[in-house]
Structure 1
Amino acid sequence: MIDISESVMQFLLAFIVVGPLIGAAAALLPAPPGLKGKSPDQAVLRHGVTVTGAVLAAAIVLTLGFDHDQPSKMQATTDISWIPALDVRIHLGVDGISLPLLVLTALLTFLCALYSYFKMPAGPSPKAFVALLLVLESGTLATFAVLDLLLFFLAFETVLIPMYFLIARWGGEDRRAAAWRFVLYTVLGSVVMLLGLLLIGLKAGTFDMVALATDNGRGLSTSVQVIAVLAIGIGLAVKTPMWPLHSWLPDAHTAAPTVGSVLLAGVLLKMGTYGFVRILLPIAPDGMQIFAPYLAAFAVVGIIYGSLACLALARPGSKGDLKRLIAYSSVGHMGFVLLGIATLTPTGVNGALFANIAHGLITGLLFFLVGAIKDRYGTADLDALAGATGAALYGRAPRLGALLAFSAVASLGLPGLAGFWGEMLALFGAFDPAEGLSRPAYLTFMAIGGLGTLLSAAYLLLVVRRVCMGAARPAGEAAIADVQGYEFAAWTPLVALTVLAGLWPAVLLGLTDPAVQKLLAGGKA
């Protein structure tokens, strides 16, 4: 930790949120002659790398200046009146819960911009692509930084437009239908969520999330909390996505360009689970107590459903798309996050937050790798990849094959890698749920979740066998390019952080645990 003044911390957080928006506007302007390089397209792509790199640097400095001895305290706070009649404020701040998500978002967006500089997806002007990427980053970062319910909703919705266009204009087959399905599902869920947010704000007399969390639901009747949890929970569950509100996800991932899939899985899905932790747990505890068993039940159904869907796609002869398989795996992995939240315990919620970060790192890497495989072979169809001779990545592109195998074993929860701790803590939380919840029911949920981990191992190892193993390359067949320099630069941080989080989980848990303890205690811890 380094000593940074509060005013500098405030500026850093404001820059992290607003900087990408300014960068998006600048991306649409003509490039100065001296900065065009070989072409205007190259200049705007370089601009995207520069802006996202500056935001990542600011996020790292903010992390270094963060008071790690008080992670439960809101830091770098800005609180300015915006709409006095409704008591809506521009209120920003970070604590141990939101800081890791800010850094993850800044990192993944920078890596996507870097990757796109060398491997721009086919489509319209790079100017629009970079601008949309930066607007998407700003909306996601704002979601994790704002402390006002209405601002949270605005930030939550901001990401829809850029993600829609990234899928519809730069995506693959059936991209328009997938983009429309993504928007329709999330907008319909968000309309219901807005009603719940307004209900809380109007009944409590404030939209300030810190004040509402400190009040811990005492200003809201049980019936209001139940309605609020149901309304807000539906909107958050669509974005998470929770079974059975997940059906937009596989199509969106399959159609999206590589960087779109990385950001959709790596950060956008986290906005839903973050809302559960930041809003519903502290603000409507009585309502969450009533709905928690149902949330846990939907979570474990999603775990099993996602795993069985992946097994079906991985089966020979099923014509399973590898991107679609990874998308269904996200339904299962996010089920563990929801299960941890539904335990209403510090252990479970910490597990959920850890699994959020681990999923962002591992699944982001998986989508990068699947995109690279599709570029090389012209398809992500598993039957085509494992055809007559097999993709045989171990023999044809050994580094690429090794990275795919590494990502697969990290995703299945191998001890020593990031995927292990979140799922284990979520299951531990289910073993001993919060007081007032049925322990036999949660033990059943824990057993079903444990079965899900076995099914995850089955389909991921099957994918590795079919894609990485196979006959040697026949004589005369064109060689497959191994990992390129720009790919190495974009993927190495994800590999390193997956190992670091797996071997040293205390780095992340030391941030989240005090904040979670305070949040569950209604701001008194």
Structure 2
Amino acid sequence: MIDSLRPAGRQVLELVPDLGAAWVVLALAPLLVGAVTLLTAGRWPTAPGHTAIRAVSVGAAVVSSLGVAGTALHRPGVELPWIPSLGVWLRLGVDGLSTPLVLLTSVVGVVAVLLHLHVPPPPRPAPLEDEDVAATSPIPLVRSIDVPGLATYHACLLLVLLGALVAFLAGDAILFFVGFELVLVPMWVLVARYGDPGSDREGAAARFLMVTVVGSTLMLVGLLGVATATGTSDLTRWAELRGEGIAPGTQAALAAVLLLGLALKVPVFPLHTWLPWVHATAPTAGSVLLAAVLLKLGTYGIVRLVVPVVPDGFALWAPLLGGLGVTGVIWAGLACLVETDLKRLIAWSSIAHLGFVVLALAAGTETGLQAALFGNVAHGLVAALLFVVVGGLKHRWGSARLSVARAALREGTPRLGAALVLGMAASMGLPGLAGFWGEIGAVYAAWAPAADRPEGWFRLYAALAAVGGALSVAYGVRVLREVWSGDRAEPRVPDAVRTERLALRLLGALVVLLGVLPVLLLAVTAPAVEAVIGR
């Protein structure tokens, strides 16, 4: 009797994932459970208070980060049939390309849920013509009061993190697309419902949704084209085939469609116009997630879905992609020199830094791919740090206009001021900070591109990128001169609160650590980069 049950028992065991896969479940399940719990909070007999809501949100993000750390360390894999009739599998795991990004998502996710949601100030009476009223007006933080929709706000943050992790962990093209799409609606809600009430948040949210949906549609067309040509949606198999069996013309068409869809997400010049508006409108945590995580879905998609999958097609479009990337560096740098809104200025700087990432990818060398992966993570940390500072300042000041005289951060808010100095220094690409290695690597890679790239054009791109680096120093100094320095001490605003201090210390420490010891990240990505380029 027992012998007759053994075959069935073995079949059951074959369907059970390895125990190491529990790390993957631990990375994703808390976010899903926390989001569902918070979304249904309105139906509870007693509505939860702000303390309980934050406890659920922060607890889910922290437990998920433990699962992410275990996944990055042990690198388990989950592989289960999902849609057998279509040959689609539920494949989840990490490698050298995705490990840095899942860790980045985890760190930034904890930071985002720690930050308090700001509420708008009460309406102020219009000043008399001869009355001198200071424009700075501190805005209270949601720390001791309950506001409608706080549970939905935190649920949306958790869903954005869940979608991003699914995309970065996905080993199947269809699963990557599902994760890519999962972040859209919650991010739209964050901008439309919890964004700056003084701006057109409905319009900003609609533009974000429309642009991203168009990009998703183009990407899906490309993914289905590759799946049809290869007979599988397994990303590992796609990388192994390296376009084998796909005609050169078809590769060029598929690469064009995929690059166009992903370029909208990065965003690459001239498809970037939606980003400053959305950043200026989004709540602080929304801006942190958008800059540090969501934009990385575009660059990671190029690394995972285009570079190794249709290499000939990518090589054909690489000169154009590199040119657009370096144009974005120059264009955004010039915009930062004249931008009058501090939050929009940081958004423009993100476009410039991601232009370096795109240029490094277009170079087609191991150095370029390493620089792109490093630049992705460095930009995520630096942008998150700056948006925590700038978002907090905007709500303390009542606006982010640089034309209004403010109390110097150096004098009144030394903690926020020190974080701003560190973030702007890293954004300038100064040695010893994380931003340096991605930018110098991109310039070096463009100066010595792959053999099938036009060397003359890429050397021109390298020179222009160096000019863009100089522009970053110019607009960085401008921000520090107008916001941090000076002797003006009034009107005072509160310095960083405890949650902001925790977030800034964590992000600042990582910015310095990767700047001093870049090998910590480069050693993780090197084997995967060698495999992608070496094939």
Fold in common (TM above 0.5): yes
- In the alignment, structure 1 residue 484 sits paired with structure 2 residue 508: no
**Distance in 2 between the 1:505 and 1:383 partners?**
38
Distance apart, 1:84 and its partner CA: 2.0
In structure 1, the partner of 2:291 is: 265
Specify which of 189, 193, 196 is matched with residue 169 of structure 1.
193
For 1:447, which of 463, 483, 498 is the aligned residue?
Answer: 463
1:498 aligns with 2:511: yes
CA contact (8 A) 2:115 2:499 kept: yes
Q: Which residue of 1 aligns with 2:411?
A: 395
Question: Where do 5+ consecutive residues of structure 2 fail to align?
Answer: 1-16, 119-140
Please give the alpha-carbon distance, in whole angstroms, between the structure 2 residues aligned to 1:242 and 1:394. Answer: 35
Distance 1:91 1:24 in 2: 23
What are the superposed Cα offsets for residues 125-168 of structure 1, whole Å, 9 maximum, x if unpaired?
A: 11111111111110000110001111111111111100000000
TM-score by length of 2: 0.89
2: CA distance, partners of 1:9 / 1:349: 29
SS at match of 2:254: helix
Task: State the Cα distance separating 1:406 from its structure 2 match.
Answer: 1.1
| One-letter identity of the residue aligned with 2:383 | T
Q: 2:323 matched to which residue of 1? A: 297
The residue that corresponds to 1:49 in the other structure is 58
Could you say which residue in structure 2 is the equivalent of 1:103?
A: 103
Match of 1:89, SS? strand
Shift of 1:391: 2.9
Measured in 2, the distance between the counterparts of 1:87 and 1:132 equals 31
Query: Residue 157 of structure 1: which of 181, 189, 193 is its match?
Result: 181
Partner SS for 2:76: strand
| 1:31 Cα deviation after fit | 9.4
**In 2, Cα distance between equivalents of 1:41 and 1:464:** 36
Q: Map residues 72-221 of structure 1 onto 2, 5 A cutoff.
A: 75-116=75-116, 119-120=141-142, 124-172=148-196, 173-221=199-247
Q: How far apart in 2 are the matches of 1:340 and 1:93?
A: 26
Give the aligned partner of residue 316 of structure 1: none
5 Å matches for 1:361-400?
A: 361-384=381-404, 387=405, 390-400=406-416
Whole-Å separation in 2 of the counterparts to 1:366 and 1:79: 39
Please report how far the alpha carbon of residue 472 of structure 1 lies from its aligned counterpart in structure 2 after TM superposition: 3.3
CA distance in 1, matches of 2:147, 2:529: 43
Q: Kindly tell me: are residues 497 and 8 of structure 1, through their superposed partners in 2, closer, same or farther at Cα, counting changes over 3 Å?
A: farther
Q: Secondary structure at the match of 2:403?
A: helix
- The C-alpha deviation readout for 1:258-280, integer Å capped at 9, x for no partner, is 00000000110000000110110
Q: Is residue 2:310 matched to residue 1:284? A: yes
Contact residue 336 and residue 449 of structure 1 kept, 8 A = yes
Alignment of 1:304-343 (within 5 A): 304-313=330-339, 320-343=340-363
Judged with a 3 Å threshold, the aligned counterparts in structure 2 of structure 1 residues 283 and 396 are, in CA distance, closer, same or farther, namely same
Alignment of 1:510 with 2:519, yes or no, is no
Alpha-carbon deviations, 1:231-258, whole Å to 9, x = none? 1111110010000111110110000000
1:225 aligns with 2:251: yes
Q: How many residues align?
A: 493
Q: Which moved more, 1:513-522 or 1:420-429?
A: 513-522
- Aligned 8 A contact 2:299 2:358 in 1: yes
Quote the Cα distance in structure 2 between the aligned partners of 1:436 and 1:61: 40
Q: In the alignment, what sits opposite 2:7?
A: none
- Tell me if the contact between 1:237 and 1:272 (Cα under 8 Å) persists in the aligned partners: yes
Does the 8 Å CA contact 2:29/2:64 hold for their aligned counterparts? Answer: no
Q: Which has the larger Rg?
A: 2
Q: Is the 8 A contact 1:92 1:146 kept in 2?
A: yes
Question: Which runs of 5 or more structure 1 residues have no equivalent in the other structure?
Answer: 1-5, 67-74, 314-319
Match in the other structure for 1:20 = 31
Equivalence for 2:125: none
| Contact 2:27/2:66, CA 8 A, preserved across alignment | no
Tell me how far 1:478 sits from its aligned partner.
5.0
Alignment partner of 2:91: what SS?
Answer: strand
Tell me the distance in 2 between the aligned counterparts of 1:93 and 1:358: 23
Say which SS state the counterpart of residue 367 (structure 2) adopts.
helix
Identity %: 40
CA distance in 2, matches of 1:34, 1:196: 48
**For the residues of structure 1 that align with 2:45 and 2:529, how far apart are their CA atoms?**
50
